[in-house]
C-alpha cells in the first residue's frame, strides 16, 4: 500500500514518559521522585531535504527531527503530566521538574522508519505513519507517529 511522503511541518503526535521530581501531596509534603506521561505535539522541522520538495515544501528524511508545536509546549511542561508513578501519594504538579532538567529535546525518526524503496541523497524518506522517538529520552522511544498533512499527492510503497 502506498503512503504519502512526509514534508516540513507535518505533525508528530504521541505520549512519552519523563522522570520527574518535586514534592508529593502528603501532609506535610515529602520529596516525590517518579515518572509522568506527557502529550507530545510536535512537527517535523529540522534536517529536511534541501534539494527535494513536494509541492514546494521540503521532504523529510530519516535524519530529520521534530520539535514541539506552539500548542504542544504547554502540554509538555512538568506540571502537565498524567499517570504519575508511583501513584500514591501523588505528586503536587506545580512542584515538579524534569530530571534531568533538560527535559524536552528534539524528536527523531525511530529505527525502522523510512521507505525501503525511495531515498534522497542515499537517505530514506519518511512516510505517513512512521514512528518517532520523542524528546530524545528513553521514555520516548517509538512513542510518536508522524502523519502526512502537508501534501497528499506524492506517495511511495512502504
54 closest CA partner among 156, 132, 122: 156
pLDDT in tens, 14-59: 999 999 999 999 999 999 999 999 999 999 999 999 999 999 999 9
pLDDT in tens, 61-73: 999 999 999 988 8
pTM higher than 0.85 for the full model?
yes
Measuring CA to CA, how many Å separate 146 from each of 17, 39, 65, 91, 150?
18, 14, 11, 31, 11
H or E element that contains 31 = strand 31-46
pLDDT in tens, 97-123: 998 876 677 899 999 999 989 999 999
Rounded to whole angstroms, the Cα distance separating 74 from 95 reads: 16
> How much is the pLDDT for 103?
64
Amino acid at each position: 500500500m502506498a503512503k504519502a511522503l512526509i514534508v516540513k511541518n507535518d505533525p508528530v503526535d504521541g505520549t512519552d514518559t519523563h522522570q520527574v521530581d518535586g514534592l508529593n501531596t502528603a501532609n506535610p509534603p515529602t520529596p516525590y521522585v517518579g515518572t509522568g506521561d506527557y502529550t507530545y505535539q510536535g512537527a517535523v522541522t529540522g534536517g529536511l531535504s534541501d534539494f527535494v520538495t513536494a509541492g514546494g515544501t521540503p521532504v523529510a528524511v530519516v535524519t530529520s527531527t521534530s520539535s514541539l508545536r506552539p500548542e504542544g509546549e504547554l502540554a509538555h511542561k512538568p506540571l502537565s503530566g498524567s499517570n504519575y508513578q508511583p501513584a500514591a501519594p501523588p505528586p503536587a504538579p506545580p512542584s515538579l521538574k524534569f530530571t534531568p532538567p533538560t527535559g524536552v529535546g528534539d524528536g527523531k525518526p525511530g529505527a525502522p522508519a523510512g521507505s525501503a524503496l525511495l531515498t534522497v541523497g542515499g537517505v530514506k524518506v519518511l512516510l505517513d505513519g512512521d514512528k518517532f522517538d520523542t524528546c530524545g529520552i528513553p521514555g520516548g522511544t517509538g512513542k510518536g507517529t508522524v502523519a502526512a498533512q502537508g501534501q497528499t499527492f506524492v506517495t511511495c510503497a512502504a
